[in-house]
Chains A and B, each alone.
Chain A
């Protein structure tokens, strides 16, 4: 397999705040890679930095950032704009805020193709109809003339997905694409993404806080905490033998039918995510970790736990998942 997207040592700062601190990520062609973590861990910022979409004041630095052989770090804004929405596209959590309420679905979808590929409006609309059909939108011709507010949340997200596919991208970045949707619709959208990935040989970088989604759709997982990737693993390995105490804590927090008895407390991670001051060294999780000792305040080396499975902790690898101490 070859990498479609490689990021090494990504740092993103907003003034004095370090949002991402040395994150590395490798996305293979045709795989779904999940970036999982809680709010503020830097997962969305990592995706936005990759797309060149950081908010004003965001400062990006990386040792390497390459997409299908192109060095993204050296691209001008204009060159980046040609790739974005074309060879890599993105869908967001709340489709209502990412669609323009003043334009019809048809005109917004067609614009992607006329702008990037110089297609005629007629050809672009034809492709829009075909793609809407592909993503399971009934009566696509009728939808062309509708405005975003006339669609349900699930339909809007389908429109967003169809729009993201207009130029036949190699990479789809999906930032919490189902968080605003009902569980029933969530399952439908995730099934759709899985079938698109298979058919169109799409690579997907999926950002989520939901470990259920990770388990069901990811090939590989990167777990983020306080701006760092604390564990990377093939999905099965991560759930079978999570290594980082944060990953283990997170897994124990999820109520899973039949796994935790009612009247028994769920596992939980004490405390809150710390703010990381400039010049911080060592493990960011140590203030909440039951295993922490003095050595955790120094730089931590990555440990290998298996093929493609590494983590950022001084503890030796352990074989099986065991409940994290409360």
Chain B
């Protein structure tokens, strides 16, 4: 399978100042991230808040400039493309359909905007495409005439998906697309995303903190911790035999609906990861149950083993 997107050594630093007289600090939000997604498949990205998963999405969408690194889509260098060309290749679906749709415009105008912005489509073409995509995501023409406030959360997320797909992109970046929705609606949206991927041959980068959702939709999963991908593997293998202790802790904390099993002890302690103070050596070592001395001084290198994915841990 050919790759829909290849990202190599992607890095983004922020400079932050916490007070007037305090020296500037460097926060490395995304640190040397490399991955590729085979066309038509789904890469899930999981990790706690502050791990850099949303910064990663913004970099790939071109909403933030990378400090270093490259991304290839269709053999084109993504970061050198202009906005219009990039929009034809990659589109986003964000978490909160209450915030991501302009409250003062009709749904059908919101969905038409990416086409308008290209400046190459006739009115008739735009109307035809908008009508087609609205129907495809399960919104009636009458819904298209409404304002976002007149739609439910699930319907709004359908509109956001229609807007993302109206330009027929290759890749969709889904950043927590169902986190703001109720479970019954979440299931509808996940099913819709799965159908669309199959029918339109789309490739997804699917970001979520919900591991059960990622397990359901992703073909491959990357686990991020303080800006780095610490483990990446096929979904089944990663869930069956996680190799990084952080992946294990994340999986342990999933509360499946199985009564009588109690709440697991994930054993992470209460030191929270701070992207402004990344520990030396392995960045996970202060929270790691099995850390040994060298974990505190020597940063682990990614180890690639056939069939076992990639992992960054001295002890894996």
By a beta-carbon cutoff of 8 Å, the part of chain A in contact with chain B is 38-39, 136-138, 152-155, 182-188, 190-191, 194, 209-217, 235-236, 238-240, 249-257, 259-260, 262-263, 265-270, 272
Interface size class of B (residues with CB under 8 A): 35 or more
Check: B63 CB closer than 8 A to any chain A CB: no
Number of A-B contacts (CB under 8 A): 140
Name the distance in Å between A177's Cβ and chain B's nearest Cβ. Answer: 13
On whether the beta carbons of B209 and A182 are closer than 8 Å, the reply is: yes
A187 and B239 form a contact (CB under 8 A):
no
A138 to B182, CA, bound (A): 35
**Bound form: Cα–Cα A190–B11 in Å:** 36
CB-defined interface of B167-188 with A at 8 Å, one 1/0 digit per residue?
0000000000000001111111
Q: Are A215 and B258 in contact (CB under 8 A)?
A: yes
Residue among B212, B217, B252, B262 with most chain A CB within 10 A:
B212
A253 to B209 Cα, complex, angstroms: 18
Q: Is B20 an interface residue (CB 8 A)?
A: no
A187 touches B190 (CB 8 A): no
Min CB distance A218 to B, Å, is: 8
B154 interface residue per 8 A CB criterion? yes
- Given that A268-B191, A272-B154 are known contacts, is A191 also in contact with B265, CB under 8 Å in the complex? yes
Q: Counting CB contacts under 8 A, is B73 at the interface? A: no
Most buried by B among A187, A252, A260: A187
Q: Does B13 contact A (CB under 8 A)?
A: no
> Within the assembled complex, what's the spacing in Å between the Cα atoms of A138 and B263?
22
Main secondary structure of the interface of A (DSSP, over half): helix
A255: chain B residues at CB < 8 Å are 187, 190, 212-213, 215-216
**Are B48 and A184 in contact, with the CB atoms below 8 A?**
yes
Distance in angstroms from B179 CB to nearest chain A CB is 10
Which residue of the partner chain, among A239, A253, A257, contacts B184 with CB atoms under 8 Å?
A253
A251 and B260 CA atoms in complex are apart in Å by 16
Task: Tell me how far the C-beta of A102 lies from the nearest C-beta in chain B, rounded to whole angstroms.
Answer: 19
User: Given contacts A154-B272, A187-B264, A254-B257, is CB(A268)–CB(B213) below 8 Å?
Assistant: no
Given contacts A217-B263, A253-B183, A268-B184, contact A212 B256 (CB under 8 A): yes
| From B152, B259, B266, contact of A187 by CB (8 A) | B266
State A266–B217 Cα separation when bound (angstroms): 10
Question: How far is it, in angstroms, between the C-alpha of A265 and the C-alpha of B261 when the chains are bound?
Answer: 26
Which listed residue (B184, B191, B209, B263) contacts A250, Cβ 8 A? B184
**What is the chain B residue whose CB lies nearest that of A212?**
B255
- Residues of chain B contacted by A136 (CB below 8 angstroms): 270
A215 touches B257 (CB 8 A): yes
Contact B211 A183 (CB under 8 A): yes
Q: Which residues of B contact A191 (CB under 8 A)?
A: 263, 265
CB-nearest residue of chain A to B195: A265
Closest to B155 in A: A272
CB-based contact A182/B239 at 8 Å: no
- In the complex, how many angstroms separate the beta carbon of B187 from the nearest chain A beta carbon? 4
B7 at the interface (CB under 8 A from A): no
Instruction: Pick the contact of B256: A39, A184, A257 (CB < 8 A).
Output: A257
In the complex the two chains form, is A266's CB within 8 Å of B191's CB? yes
A286 to chain B minimum Cβ distance, whole angstroms, is: 16
Q: Which of A182, A212, A268 contacts B257 (CB 8 A)?
A: A212
In the assembled complex, the Cα of A155 lies from the Cα of B239 at a distance in Å of 29
Q: Say whether A251 contacts B239, CB under 8 Å.
A: no
Q: What are the nearest 5 A-B pairs in CB distance?
A: A212-B255, A268-B187, A38-B182, A253-B187, A255-B216
B262 touches A216 (CB 8 A): yes
Interface-central residue, B185, B252, B264, by most chain A CB under 10 Å: B185
| CA–CA, A38 and B153, complex, Å | 12
